[in-house]
Structure 1
């Protein structure tokens, strides 16, 4: 049987299934991430030689670029559905999550990795940096709905904004791990260069480029579109075009593309925020993301059969359990302790820090750029943590969010 035909058939069936998955998840209370991961396991069990090798360790370059693509599309889709204007008072909860909680989670996870596995400093830091950010790709069950839904629900807003922001803010710590590795094995690099260039300069470039392009496109679409018929467009694929353009141009000038994509999406979203064109942009981004997520999850399910978990130990299991059920919830809850939220909201926000494809991207990126003695162990720990997160959060997110929404969501009169 022709491998190409099998591949396009699987992609077509998986993509078609995504048309009904949101409804299925709402009815069953089970995230579609579980269904597609299980499908990946079954498909690769049935046709192991007719599909591409799913082992991320074997094809790290392809893994990096595929997960990179799905993450940036997800980040833009996350930004375009946030209705809230950028003000400190209304954004303080997610800002605390991506600063205090993120740094605390990276630090404690690194210490735990060092204590559990006797890792070198660079590998331990990489473990913390890779696992700390909440994944925007698999977090749709705990995020806000489409633009202009007229519902204020702080729990979902905090998780949505956190997922959009923290990928760009976690990347500097991945680069710090790479810098430490270079210092250890090559005698190159310095923490000062990392702080001045990787943190300050590249973040600033990402913010500026994202804002400028988002503002310019808003002007072209809305202001110029209203004045000149020739400039009017209502095509949804602009969402994907903008995502790729912003990310590419920002990386060309050595800025952080993740940050730029999120800022561009927010900037465009706040340009004539009540316009119904934002719904088209979100719909196209969401549909594109779901198709890619279907492919990535099937590959992830297949990777579980390829040996990525062969080195799993009880220490690794214990680390993942502690990370998901203690470290992430505790650091996040402490960062929100002074916020004006109900205690139950704080715990729900803290618990639903879903791990996913962002972690795979960071790990494949770092292992391509530097030498890490614990590379195989890192793949095993990260893969198992993602799997555990998919199962635990996938079985609970929909049900918990429905209950929380009934209690805490408020309708906004427009």
Structure 2
């Protein structure tokens, strides 16, 4: 004992200290120059990368290309909570016509984005057909975790601007709707680009069955949880205790049971949030549950972003100019153009269409999908895919994070709310 140094740098303690410093600085530093909500996501990634490169004794994080499971599990948990929270935030579902832009973004913009990214990935990066499809599926959905600044506020706040409503509902549903295309990439990797052999099975199983089951399980799970929280027993309602743990347990139960019957759990938890919010709509428990789940979501997100930053230097070893070109094309051409085309005829004002088209943040969902695919199969282009996805997440958080405050401020001014923003 006497020969051991008094001070020792345990790598685990170094890691905890760095995470604490990075998160605090990322949330605090922007406040020195702006009163807006801090654009902390890109700073967490960049500070994490700096820590990995500059701090002695900093431990190596698991490489997602070699050890995807821990990344998959943490990102999955984060997305589950975020999707449920997105559903909970919607105060009013009606009039039904305000869902028109959401439907257009899901049914037109997302498939267009997947197709365009796949074609660009194949032609510029030289990805295989399976890798190109997977890249499109991974990068198509907008992120419910990092897109809080463009979404509606907490439950019972009201004033849901059509742009915020569209971006919130799109982010809540398109993570699950991207899954059929992830499966498509896996199928093509095994059976080749021959839809005559697997096309019908993919359509019936991975598109129709899994989506329908996800919706049904989400609705049923919300109804059952609503009975437990707000109805039975009448003289001792569980919702009056304010305990969000039980509700969160119900979300995990809904997700897990949906996956057990081969449905899309991401769709189920989003629908569960939407449906549960309709039960005792004005009860204070909804706001408490939202705040509770949001705190967990923010904590998991911070850990993932710092961790992503620490592995970016290794991921970027495979980065090329073609990757940079694809990332820029996605963020400034493909997503905005796909969204603009999808919203033609929606009667949204041009400014509102532009905001919806541009602000589709990429992030935690992309990490999950790529880890999921990597844990199920080895792809020829896996190193390239990780380099490109890491770059897209970094650029997306920078471009969107530092401009979204101004864009949303314009929409929050009542005199600028156009009647055309509400679809007929």
TM-score by length of 2: 0.90
Secondary structure of 1:254 counterpart: coil
User: Cα offset for 1:8?
Assistant: 3.7
Query: 2:377, 2:161 → 1: CA distance?
Result: 42
Paired residue for 1:366?
373
Q: 1:247 to 1:146 in 2, by over 3 A?
A: same
Q: How does 1:247-262 map to 2 (within 5 A)?
A: 247-262=255-270
Paired residue for 2:115?
107
Paired residue for 1:124?
132
Paired residue for 2:348?
341
Paired residue for 1:300?
308
CA contact (8 A) 1:328 1:350 kept: yes
Paired residue for 1:145?
153
CA contact (8 A) 1:336 1:346 kept: yes
Query: 1:256, 1:262 → 2: CA distance?
Result: 10
Query: 2:384, 2:27 → 1: CA distance?
Result: 37
Query: 1:5, 1:309 → 2: CA distance?
Result: 27
276, 282, 290: which one pairs with 1:282? 290
Deviations 1:3-50 (A, max 9, x none): 333334445556667887997897156511022122212322333643
The unaligned stretches of length 5 or more in structure 2 are 1-8, 420-424
- Between 126-135 and 244-253, report the one with greater CA deviation: 244-253
In the alignment of these two chains, the number of paired residues is: 409
Q: 1:151 to 1:405 in 2, by over 3 A?
A: same
Paired residue for 2:52?
44
Q: 1:354 to 1:388 in 2, by over 3 A?
A: same
Paired residue for 1:310?
317
CA contact (8 A) 1:70 1:292 kept: yes
Q: 1:211 to 1:352 in 2, by over 3 A?
A: same
User: Cα offset for 1:294?
Assistant: 0.8
User: Cα offset for 1:139?
Assistant: 0.6
Secondary structure of 1:6 counterpart: helix
User: Cα offset for 1:280?
Assistant: 0.3
Deviations 1:155-202 (A, max 9, x none): 1111111111000000110001101111039x9x82222111111111
TM-score by length of 1: 0.92
Q: 1:120 to 1:87 in 2, by over 3 A?
A: farther
Q: 1:25 to 1:138 in 2, by over 3 A?
A: farther
Secondary structure of 1:237 counterpart: helix
Query: 1:141, 1:229 → 2: CA distance?
Result: 34
1:401 matched to 2:398? The reply is no
1:165 matched to 2:169? The reply is no
Q: 1:236 to 1:192 in 2, by over 3 A?
A: same
Secondary structure of 2:42 counterpart: helix
CA contact (8 A) 1:130 1:362 kept: yes
1:66 matched to 2:67? The reply is no
Deviations 1:227-260 (A, max 9, x none): 4357853212334322222111111121111001
Secondary structure of 2:315 counterpart: coil
1:81 matched to 2:95? The reply is no
1:356 matched to 2:350? The reply is no
